A and B are shown apart, each in its own frame.
Chain A
């Protein structure tokens, strides 16, 4: 078996029974999206912006604490943010306008502000998304999206991705082992052609698997819609609990707007 235990996607999930774990997935999805919107809506050049970021950070850390997501897990989630960090670090150097001296470097003042805001907003949003991923299984997320009326075709594609990512990565792994078993060296000249051919082969295999899966689905009466199981209504108390995160962030934003 090529797939590691647990699979690549569910590796982000941390099993638990916290109040956050027990919330319906659609509630959590809406909460994280609303939170990110509030964070992004914060004016970049306002003097009180750093205080607002601190407030948002407090809110998301509180949510993480309730969910039992440990700091290490949160930090690991931030890895996806790396491209933003690089971009944010470049901004003070390339933006024009008044300059300030920091550690002997001449940096753009507005570049520093913009870069800092970008970094803060991205970090906060990723933190919220990490709490979501750590407390919700991938298939639960899928159910949540379905209940939020995301088009059924998109949800099905996501579902198949969740199901087959380990199968396909297992295939990829076996192809690599087979290559290397015949003394293939990825660093040699011309290696790219071989890897390209392997990618092509993997694509064709996956395409053929898609056809076989479709056949198996038709054989069991598939007519274009994935049948749904029972759908339980979400009590309004759960919505309130879930939305307390964006509401807290919203309160911080409103306070800043009014006082600042």
Chain B
């Protein structure tokens, strides 16, 4: 092994304090530059797994490392700069009064000098096609624009891996396409949690299915979506008329 994988999850199990066991030994390895979709029905443990990746939740068993660095309490600051999580509701992600201050929030927490912060903010907003919006308050933006700004808020931290929770939810078709173009253009490793199977197919060559707290499938997105039995067994459904073998 020459370079460490972007993300290495080994045998991670987790139970919530109320006793509900959400993960039962999850294994996942993502190489640098890969784009992977994490699929699964509601309640499968997808969000729980995502919150483990940057150490918000700590596994009861097993270990996680990001680009070779284990997720431990001592490494938390470095880990949170390496794992950029974009949450589902951009109104949760964008809490500062202006877009620019929000994109600067992460870099400033990393203690970067102000000139570097300004450069990163400009670049990140440019990357998501929102240059020139730095002084706008988030509530003036459309939903699709807010979602793209939310992506910029973690890009400015130069993450090793970008983790998106339901990136296509609530977007109109144009917003969907614009976000897909942005995500495809980014030179980072990508893990995308979604129910939107066509979107997974469009963006991610590889998919992993999580159900009842365990990985039940890990394969190329096209072949995985063509496996009707597998989909049916895990409450995944393709939209009407969508044929994965033809697109």
Contact = CB atoms under 8 A, between A and B. Distances in A.
Contacts of A109: none
Nearest to A143: B97
A221 B106 contact: yes
A223 B77 CA distance: 9
> Interface majority SS on A: helix, strand, loop or mixed?
helix
A165 B94 CA distance: 14
A139 B101 CA distance: 11
Contacts of A149: none
B87 A212 contact: yes
Interface stretch (A18-26, A89-97, A227-235): A227-235
A45 B14 CA distance: 73
Given A216-B95, A219-B85, A3 B109 contact: no
A91 to B, nearest CB: 41
Interface string A154-174: 000001101110110000000
Given A1-B143, A219-B56, A229 B104 contact: yes
B153 interface: yes
Nearest to B107: A227
Interface in B47-83: 51, 54, 56, 77, 80-81, 83
Interface residues of A, number: 33
A212 B110 CA distance: 21
B80 A217 contact: no
A227 B92 contact: no
A163 B110 contact: no
A209 B92 CA distance: 7
A7 interface: yes
Which of the four size classes fits the interface of chain B?
Answer: 35 or more
Nearest to B94: A163
B104 A227 contact: yes
Interface string B95-108: 11110010011101
Nearest to A166: B139
Interface string B145-186: 000000001100100000000000000000000000000000
Given A212-B87, A220-B106, A229 B101 contact: yes
Nearest to A228: B108
A218 B79 CA distance: 11
A163 B96 contact: yes
Interface of A: 1, 3, 5-7, 10, 138-139, 142, 159-160, 162-164, 166-167, 209, 212-213, 215-223, 226-230
25 contacts: A1-B143, A5-B140, A7-B137, A7-B139, A139-B98, A159-B96, A159-B97, A163-B94, A163-B138, A167-B139, A209-B91, A209-B92, A212-B89, A213-B95, A216-B92, A216-B93, A219-B87, A220-B105, A220-B106, A221-B81, A221-B109, A222-B105, A222-B109, A228-B108, A229-B101
